[in-house]
Structure 1
Amino acid sequence: MTPLHYQSLAEIAQRLRVGELTARALAEHILARAAALAERTNAFITLMPEAALAAADRADAARAEGRLLGPLHGVPVNVKDMFDIAGVPTTAGMPSRIDHRAATNATIIDRLQTAGAVIVGKVNLAEGVFGKYVPPFNEPLNPWSLEHWGGASSGGSGVSMAAGLGYASMASDTGGSIRMPSAVNGVTGLKPSWGRISRHGAFELAGLLDHVGVIARSAEDVAIMLGVVAGADPADPTTLVAPVPDYVAQLGQPVSGLRIGVPRQWLAQGVETGLLDAIESALDLYAGLGARISDFSLAPEPELVDRWYDICTAHVALVHAENFARHRETYSEPLALAIETGRALPVARLQRAYRYRTEFAGRLAHAMADVDLIAVPAIPTAPPTRAAVEAMDNETMFALHRFTSPFSMAGVPTITLPCGVTPDGLPYAIQLVAKPLAEPMLLNAAHAFQKVTEHHRRFALP
């Protein structure tokens, strides 16, 4: 039988609804597990036991009165420590923000709580939501292997899902920070269309590239979460006003006739053979389900990650201007370099980067006219070791981002899910990319794959 902490969010929500579990007992179980695995995973920055148990008690009291609070009634979830919760520190992984306490909730926190979620804590993230984990927080540890990378800035979210420390985690992705942790931890991560989820009350990295999203263990669980947090928000004028569909209701549709394009020119450059084989096996499975697999004509974009970095660093410099002036000594060199690079960026170069972004989004849209989804890796290799990531120069790090940054630049939705296993038992992952606001199709395609495979049901720790 699947351990309680590894059951799906959908299963847990149903058990809570029918009274088979109490929210308090479940919250106590997840909190105890988080405490027991604190050193092994380093997933959390702040656990919130008192608030979580109080929320669980409210859920149990409501059920005793015959009321359900919403789709997440009593379900333990966590959030990346960049989202404000009133009275709780929002560190953004930065030493200078250890004592920063929010006065109000981020919009997604209000939506989670209205839906009945029990927020058990705030998980670890890279400094300033950028790239490097710094003391006193340090990096989250991959549950599959202590030697291997836990992922980019949403590493705490990915690690917490792989370790069974909640049933979903709110995260963010600017250039790959949902997709990379999902890939290396063997879990499922959605970067939705830009603006689909409010950024109000979220610490900014680069606003025009920042996507708020979800990491969970299955596409179905992601769909439940997305239905709760998506939608227009007057407090964030960049949110999309398009109606929020019932993502869960649209799962289970046949994928026969689904058109999946494969950009062979992209895959021919530096993708590990074992990963290519895993992706081809996944595509064969889709073909067996009736999908139509075809080569996808989109030339490689060798300048894209550089142009992404230009836009990102320009925004980073703005976000950190005041704090960097006051607390320069607390910043790591990578983040300080990004700030200084952004400050010094010539206007003409930044303008070219924005123009390139718009043109690339157009090229992608035209290329996708005859397909519904495209299939690529999330990262071009199996999970790298921590030592290898630490030693990466800019060129190697940019290469790691070449399947993620393009779809941040275009603002389109993607989902990353496990699709195979390395000889050492680590996860391989596939990334599916859709057109703007095509999350229902994207989630359904991932769900169809997970209905007939077991990759997302492998568990890293007991």
Structure 2
Amino acid sequence: MAAPDDICLRGGVATFGAQLRRGELTSRDLTLAFLDRIDSLDPGLRSYARVMRDDALADAECADREIAAGLDRGALHGIPVAIKDLIDIADAPTLAGMPFRADHKAVRDATIVARLRRAGAVILGKLSMTEGATILHHPHVPAPVNPWRAGHSSGFSSSGSGVAVAARLCVAALGSDTGGSVRIPSAFNGVTGVKTTWGRVSRDGVWPLVEALDTIGPMARSAADAAAMLGAIAGADPHDPTAAPAPVPDYRRALDEGVDGLTIGVDWDRIERECDPPVITALCHTADMLVAAGARLRAVTLPATHTAAFGAILTAGVADAHRETFPTHAASYGPGLAAMLASATELEARDVAAAMNAADRYTGQINALFEGIDLLLVPALPYPAPPAAVLEATLLAGGEAFERFFLYTLPFNISRHPTITFPAGFSDDGLPCAAQLVGAHFSESTLLRAAHRFQSMTDWHTRHPAIG
């Protein structure tokens, strides 16, 4: 058998699945390889909040028995994955990045965890995150370390998910996205992440940030792996009345449809004004590859975006999520989140109404764009991962720098459109650069197949940091 690191580094859902079904590999051996790699590397990377070794091995042994008996639960059967620690797993604490919740134990699995179990996935553990899924880690929770460059930001709030996937400490993971929390760590860590349409995936058993914006999506090594994850978790849910009843496509089957005939809108003027050169290069490369695969480019003008106009929705939504714990446990909160919650008392109803009206207008403008295009190509972020301390200072300062950072993430939460973020190059100093495709509501299948086509022509998504 190959060394554990070799097993973890090579392949993805389809490759591992084929090996399991041919009997070349057992789920127990695969799971052990990941657990050993976690033991070896994660003390320095800090991506896991909780490793569930015994449970994972028991699940893997069950998968091996089922596969040997001829039962096939699908693409994820026997595949080791990990879960962001705001998603409930029965009998395990859900901290959501807040240490005072250490005594909280979930009474049952979140719907999406139950669906992963039905798909035969092996859950390795729960992944670290920022405090309450906001932009800062709690002072007592060390931030996960970017495996490409220690000291540079690993993103937020699904920081542990991005690091674990990039460092090959799981095959795939789940993250959440309210203002960019799947896309930011995907971009900074060089992985593929899907920000789903609001309502595409149930949020039952998920600690909220802003319920009107919260989405759950996969973070994986490739679009193909993300398709397998999304297919397992998407769909209506009686436990969550906001989960959309729209049928769930076969995302994996649609991957090979390609992009021939698709029209992709690009606002090059804005991209060149707002992005650093490595990101512009990555987007040009992405456009060239998709055109070579049969897509058409169309110049578009993106509507003006002022993220501050939406701020009252965020502040009011976060305050509602914490109404039972703040200010009761105010002393247990980090200073950043505590300050945000305290400021919510100054909000007026008309501020929230104005933000909601601005959101509706922006959503209508984006919907109008999709009357003439199939997809929109934009940056995920305007620059590669900066030093963590620099980014934190930038975000705390607010103003234009804050606005620039969230320019291509938060607006698509406001409009509830799905996106896919994927690696499309590197900066001269070796940091990942990402592209983002945006689609009409519930067009995840088109997004996945476009990213898959790009990844079939390039190898950016196969590269991983040299660690350990």
Q: Which TM bucket (shorter chain)?
A: over 0.9
User: Residue 258 of structure 1 is aligned with which of 255, 262, 267?
Assistant: 262
Taking the TM superposition and a 5 Å limit, the aligned residue runs for 1:107-118 are 107-118=111-122
Aligned partner of residue 82 in structure 2, secondary structure: strand
2:13–2:75 CA contact under 8 A, matched in 1 = no
Which residue, 5, 8, 21 being the options, matches 1:5?
8
From 58, 64, 73, the counterpart of 1:54: 58
Structure-1 separation of matches of 2:367 and 2:318: 28
Partner of 1:312: 314
Is 1:442 the counterpart of 2:450? The answer is: no
TM-score with structure 1 length normalisation?
Answer: 0.97
1:265: how far off? 4.3
Deviates more, 1:118-127 or 1:268-277: 268-277
Query: Is 1:186 the equivalent of 2:180?
Result: no
For 2:293 and 2:423, the matched residues in 1 are separated by 18
CA displacement at 1:51 relative to structure 2: 0.4
Deviates most, 82-91 or 314-323? 314-323
- Provide the secondary structure at the position in 1 that maps to 2:425: strand
Query: Hey, what does 1:228 align to over in structure 2?
Result: 232
- TM-score of the superposed pair, with normalisation by structure 2: 0.96
Residue number among 72, 78, 98 corresponding to 2:102 in the alignment: 98
C-alpha separation between the residues in 1 aligned to 2:230 and 2:335?
Answer: 35
8 Å Cα contact 2:139-2:334 kept in structure 1: no
Match for residue 358 of structure 1 among 357, 360, 373:
360
8 A contact 1:313–1:338 mirrored in 2: yes
Instruction: Give the match for residue 373 of structure 1.
Output: 375
Contact 1:419 1:429 in 2 (8 A): yes
Query: Match for 1:339 among 334, 338, 341?
Result: 341
| Corresponding residue of 2:159 | 155
User: What is the deviation of 1:330?
Assistant: 1.4
CA–CA separation in structure 1 for the residues paired with 2:96 and 2:302: 36
8 A Cα contact 1:265 1:298, kept in partner = no
In the other structure, the counterpart of 1:25 is: 29
Pairwise CA distance, 1:274: 2.1
Would you say 1:119 and 2:129 are equivalent positions? no
Task: Map 1:311-330; keep pairs closer than 5 Å.
Answer: 311-330=313-332
- Measured in 2, the distance between the counterparts of 1:429 and 1:22 equals 34
Q: Secondary structure at the match of 1:10?
A: helix
How does 1:240-255 map onto structure 2 within 5 Å?
Answer: 240-255=244-259
Overall identity of the aligned pairs, in %: 41
1:269 correspondence with 2:293: no
**2:284 corresponds to:** 280
Aligned to 1:348: 350
**C-alpha separation in 1, matches of 2:312 and 2:38:** 38
Deviation beyond 4 Å, 4+ runs, structure 1 = none
Give the counterpart letter for 1:454 in structure 2: D
- What amino acid does structure 1 have at the position aligned with 2:426? V
Alignment check: 8 A CA contact 1:15 1:21 kept: yes
Cα deviation per residue 1:154-198 (whole Å; 9 max; x = unaligned)?
010000000001111011000000000000100000001111000
CA distance in structure 2 between the aligned counterparts of 1:352 and 1:405, rounded to whole angstroms: 17
CA contact (8 A) 2:176 2:182 kept: yes
Q: Following TM superposition, by how much is the alpha carbon of 1:411 offset from its aligned partner in structure 2, in angstroms?
A: 0.4
Q: Which amino acid aligns with 2:282?
A: A
Which stretch shows the higher mean deviation, 441-450 or 364-373? 364-373
Kept in 2, the 8 Å contact 1:152–1:181? The answer is: yes
CA distance in structure 2 between the partners assigned to 1:266 and 1:193 by the alignment? 25
1:252 alignment partner, SS class: helix
- In the TM superposition, residue 18 of structure 1 has moved relative to its aligned partner by 2.1
In 2, are the aligned partners of 1:200 and 1:236 still within 8 Å (CA)? yes
Deviation at 1:98, TM superposition (A): 1.4
In the alignment, residue 332 of structure 2 is paired with which amino acid? T
Aligned-pair CA distance for 1:318: 1.1
Equivalent-residue separation in structure 1 for 2:175 and 2:7 (angstroms): 23
| Aligned mate of 1:172, from 176, 181, 186 | 176
Q: Which amino acid aligns with 2:68?
A: A
1:408 aligned onto 2:410: no
How far 1:210 moved relative to its partner?
A: 0.3
How many angstroms does 1:115 deviate by? 0.5
Distance 1:30 1:13 in 2: 15
Match of 1:425 in 2: 430
CA–CA distance in structure 2, aligned partners of residues 389 and 212 of structure 1: 24
* Residue 61 (structure 1) shift: 1.4
Q: Deviations over 1:364-420 (max 9, x none)?
A: 111221111111111101111112112211122332111101100010100000001
Which whole-Å CA distance do the structure 2 matches of 1:328 and 1:442 have between them? Answer: 41
State the distance in 1 between where 2:7 and 2:123 align: 17
- Give unmatched runs, 5+ long, in structure 1: none
SS at match of 2:226: helix
Q: Is the 8 A contact 1:194 1:209 kept in 2?
A: yes
Encode CA deviations 1:312-341: one digit per residue, 9 max, x unaligned: 110111111221122111111211122122
Equivalent pairs counted in the alignment come to 460
Contact 1:315/1:342, CA 8 A, preserved across alignment: no
What is residue 218 of structure 2 aligned with on the other side? 214
- Give the match's secondary structure for 2:376: strand
1:458 paired to 2:463? yes
What amino acid maps onto 1:401 in structure 2? F
TM superposition shift of 1:214: 0.7
